[in-house]
Amino acid sequence: MHSYIEALHDLLFPPQCLCCEQRLEASRLPLVCSACREGLRSISSPLCATCGIPFTTGVDHLCGVCLRKSYFFDYARSAMFYQPPVSNLLLALKFSNTTSTVASLKKLAEESGALSLFTVPDIIIPVPLHVTRLRERGFNQALMLARHCFPQWRRVIRSTVLVRNRATPPQSSLSGHQRRQNLKGCFQLTRSGLLAGKRILLVDDVFTTGSTINECSRILRREKPKRIEVFTLARSLQL
Ligand SMILES: [Zn+2]
Ligand SMILES: [Zn+2]
């Protein structure tokens, strides 16, 4: 009966690839055609044991940034490289919060194995959007990703603990140094005493230079949490 209803639904609303709109045979997740899936690259070893940046050869070790202990988080992992089809799906998610897009991203992240790389958190914090941007968009994509990727920990997601005070220019238009300046004083905690001794999982869509995640971690670190881990769906290597 269930498959009959599904078949009827597919007939009435033919499923399409979310990247190229090519017709798909069935509405099975992820809604990405086989041609678009060829661009998919999961991230796996060798990588930096701390920040998760992938290396081309060798075994896991610490990257230069982590050797200098420049990050305020303890551990970061991403599921996939930020390139099509993942980049198209993340852009689509920013403009319309459709369940099929976020569910497809979750499915791809699950297949990459990255969702099981984290310590059970006491609290999950999605990287916040500024309220103006949140109003324009109607939702925070980092929160949507946290809810879909970690449904087992849904009750520990706190989206109001960390807030963004300023709407900052898009990070993608800035250099590494400008990115850090751009973010100074941008994030703030709404209450203190909540994070001491806690294991925190920060969630965001893309890790590029790590400036955003690191600035959030710097603010969280003041509260003396036990551990800060970071999940980003994608990792971009353009610096
Ligand atoms: Zn396609
Ligand atoms: Zn590193």
Question: What separation in Å is there between the alpha carbon of 18 and the centre of ligand 1?
Answer: 7
pLDDT at residue 236, rounded to an integer: 93
Q: Would you kindly state where each structural domain of the chain is located, as residue ranges?
A: 1-38, 43-235
Ligand nearest to the CA of 63: 2
Question: Residue 206 in contact with residue 170, Cβ under 8 Å?
Answer: no
Average confidence score pLDDT of the chain: 91
Question: What separation in Å is there between the alpha carbon of 65 and the centre of ligand 2?
Answer: 6
pLDDT at residue 148, rounded to an integer: 97
What proportion of the chain, given as a percentage, has pLDDT over 70? 97
Is there a cis peptide before residue 46, judged by omega within 30 degrees of 0? yes
CA atoms within 13 A on the CB side of 174: 16
Alpha helical stretches, state H, 122-203: 131-137, 141-149, 176-183
Structure tokens at 63: 């990257």
Residue closest to 238 by CA, chosen among 183, 178, 173:
173
d(C-alpha 178, C-alpha 158), whole Å: 29
Helices (H) and strands (E) counted in the chain, each on its own, are 9, 6
Is the pTM here over 0.85, yes or no? yes
What proportion of the chain, given as a percentage, has pLDDT over 90? 70
pLDDT, average across residues 210-228: 96
* 38-61 per-position pLDDT tens digit: 999 999 999 999 999 999 999 999
* 62-101 per-position pLDDT tens digit: 999 999 998 999 999 999 999 999 999 999 888 877 888 9
Question: What separation in Å is there between the alpha carbon of 96 and the centre of ligand 1?
Answer: 18
- Look at the domain 43-235 and name its fold: Rossmann fold (3.40.50)
Question: What separation in Å is there between the alpha carbon of 74 and the centre of ligand 2?
Answer: 10
Residue with tokens 């003396």: 224
Q: Is the pLDDT of residue 178 over 60?
A: yes
d(C-alpha 94, C-alpha 164), whole Å: 17
CA 190 from centre of chain: 22
